[in-house]
Amino acid sequence: MKKFGRVINNASLKNYNTYKIDARCKYLIFINDQNKLRDLLDYLNKISVKYFILGNGSNIILPDYYDGVVIKLELNPFFIESNTITVGASYMLNKLANITVKESLKGLEWAAGIPGTVGGSVIGNASCYEESLMPLIIKLEVLDNGVLKTITTNDFNYSYRHTTLKDDKIIILKATFKLDSGNKEELLEIIKDRTKKRVGSQPLEYPSAGSVFKNPEGYFAGKLIEDSGLKGYRLGGAEISEKHANFIINKEDATSQDIKALIKYIRNKVFEKYGINLILEQEIIN
Ligand SMILES: Cc1cc2nc3c(=O)[nH]c(=O)nc-3n(C[C@H](O)[C@H](O)[C@H](O)COP(=O)(O)OP(=O)(O)OC[C@H]3O[C@@H](n4cnc5c(N)ncnc54)[C@H](O)[C@@H]3O)c2cc1C
C-alpha cells in the first residue's frame, strides 16, 4: 500500500476523532492525490479489504478496533477568485468560514463553529441556524465508483443532515462555492455572537462529536433527553452533558462501547416516555 501514500500499521486514531476514543485500526493511510486515491480504492476493492474515508472525525463513533484501512485525505488546495472559492475536501470548514469573512464574503459565517472538513460537511449536509452549504455550491469534484466526475447539487438529493451522495458512496474531492459580497465587520460580529452562543450552550471543554441525535420534527432532541431526566447520566467514561443533553461527552477515557451503550439507553428512555424514536445524527463506524 505504500505506493499510494504514507501508511501506519496498527495506528492509533485517538487524535483523529473528536470524541478522542482510543481506537486503533489495522492500517491508517494518508492520501494527498486524487489519482492515488482512485488507485487505492480500486486495489482495496479487488482484494476485498474494507475501508472508510475519515474527515476530521467530528461526526463519527469509531469502533475500538477497525479491522481495515482508514483513509485520511490530505486534499487541501485553496483557490479564490472574486466571489468564487474552490477548496479541497480536507480543508476545514471553520477555517474556510473565517477566511471568507475576512475577504468580506458572505454566506459561510454560520459555519464558523463546525469542526469538520469540507468533504465530511458536504456529504452529511452540515447545517446550522437553518443554513447549509448546499445553496452555495456551484460544483463538486467527486470520485464516483472509481470515476472522476464534476457534479452539481442537481445531481443528488439532500435533506436535514443527509445526502444521497453518502448512500451512493461518492467521495468528495473538491468543492466550489459562490458567495455574496458582504460587510466584514457585520460578518465578524455574527461569528462572534454565534461563538458566544456555542460556548454558552455546548460542552466544548470536553471531547464530543456534536449533537448525538437529529431533532425529530417539531421537537428538540436535547429537550426530550433533558425532560427524561437524563442530564449527567453516565455509563463508563461517557456522560450525557449537564450543559446540553444532546451531547455525549467523553468524561474519562470513554470507549466506543460506553458511548454506544449510552446512546441505546437514551433512545429507550425517550421512547418509553414520549414514544419517539430518536434517530442518530452521528455515524457508527463498524
Ligand atoms: C463541538 C461540535 C459542534 C458541531 N456542530 C455542528 C453543527 O452546528 N452543525 C453540523 O451539521 N454539524 C456539527 N457538528 C458535527 C460535525 O462537525 C459535522 O457533521 C462535520 O460536517 C463532520 O465533518 P468531518 O470531516 O468531521 O466528518 P467525519 O466525522 O470524519 O466523517 C463523517 C462522514 O463523512 C464521510 N466523509 C468524510 N470526508 C469525506 C469525503 N471527502 N468524501 C466522502 N465522504 C466523506 C466519512 O466517511 C463519514 O461517513 C459538530 C461537531 C462538534 C464536535
Give the model confidence (pLDDT) of 116-155 as tens digits.
999 999 999 999 988 999 999 999 999 999 999 999 999 9
Structural domains of the chain in order of their starting residue, each with its CATH number: 6-73 (3.30.43.10), 78-199 (3.30.465.10), 221-284 (3.90.78.10)
Say if residues 148 and 91 touch (Cβ distance below 8 Å). no
Which is the catalytic residue, given 109, 141, 239, 281? 281
Q: For the CA atoms of 167, 173, 174, 175, what is the dihedral angle to 10 degrees? A: 10
Distance between Cα 114 and ligand 1 center (Å): 8
Residue nearest to atom 41 of ligand 1 (CA): 119
Active site residue 90: no
| CA pair distance 192, 170, nearest whole angstrom | 35
Residue nearest to atom 43 of ligand 1 (CA): 171
Whats the size of the chain, residue-wise? 286
Neighbours of 158 (CB within 10 A): 19
Taking the CA atoms of the chain, what radius of gyration do you get in angstroms? 19
Nearest partner of 221 among 285, 163, 159, 274, judged by Cα:
274
Q: Does pLDDT of 169 surpass 90?
A: yes
* Residue type (1 letter), 179: L
Residue nearest to atom 19 of ligand 1 (CA): 59
Split at pLDDT 50, 70, 90, the class of 17 is very high
Q: Which three cell numbers stand for residue 4?
A: 499510494
Split at pLDDT 50, 70, 90, the class of 164 is very high
Q: Which three cell numbers stand for residue 106?
A: 458572505
Nearest partner of 276 among 228, 242, 230, judged by Cα:
228
β-strands 158-159, 147-151 pairing: unpaired
Say if residues 9 and 26 touch (Cβ distance below 8 Å). yes
Distance between Cα 125 and ligand 1 center (Å): 9
The position carrying cell 479487488 is 46
Supply the pLDDT for residue 1.
Answer: 85
Half-sphere exposure of 161 (CA within 13 A, CB side): 15
- In this prediction, residues 20-40 reach a mean pLDDT of 97
Give the helix, strand, coil percentages of the chain, each rounded to 5.
Answer: 30, 30, 35
| CA pair distance 129, 227, nearest whole angstrom | 23
Active site residue 161: yes
- In this prediction, residues 159-184 reach a mean pLDDT of 96
Active site residue 211: yes
Binding-site residues, ligand 1, Cβ < 6 A: 18, 52-60, 73, 89, 114-117, 119-121, 123-124, 126-128, 171-172, 202, 204, 208-210, 283
